[in-house]
Amino acid sequence: MVADLLDRATAETYASWFRALADPSRVQIVEYLARQARPMPVGEIVAAVALAQSTVSQHLKVLADVRFVLIEAVGNARHYRINTTCIDCFPSAADVVMGRPAPTAPGGCA
């Protein structure tokens, strides 16, 4: 008997999340934004992670593409904040991939 597989669309979503977190700098950025719990300009994030502004901006783009990070316009600037909905969903994705039942539906993070 073949076990039911995770549907392809959900598997692709989860894979994109894991790829987004496959870089240690992006993990640090997510962790920093989650702890700060407020929208932040890129300059503050650059100072915290000690990387070049262009590098941080590229990492933020990757994180925004999977919606771990949300972008808010503040005048001419852009501020970045953690998307708590997606961060709440991520452990469930890891559970599902490891064969455990998900406590919540995965659709809330798209």
Residue 108 lies in a domain: no
Residue 42 lies in a domain: yes
Provide the number of structural domains found in the chain.
1
Residue 103 lies in a domain: no
Confidence bin at 1 (pLDDT 50/70/90): very low
Residue 21 lies in a domain: yes
Residues with Cβ within 8 Å of 62's Cβ and at least 6 positions away in sequence, in order, are 20, 23, 26
Residue 1 lies in a domain: no
* Predicted confidence (pLDDT) per residue in 61-91, tens digit: 999 999 999 999 999 999 999 998 877 777 6
Residue 22 lies in a domain: yes
Whole-prediction pTM value? 0.80
Give the domain CATH number at 31. 1.10.10.10
Q: What is the domain extent for residue 29? A: 8-95
Residue 106 lies in a domain: no
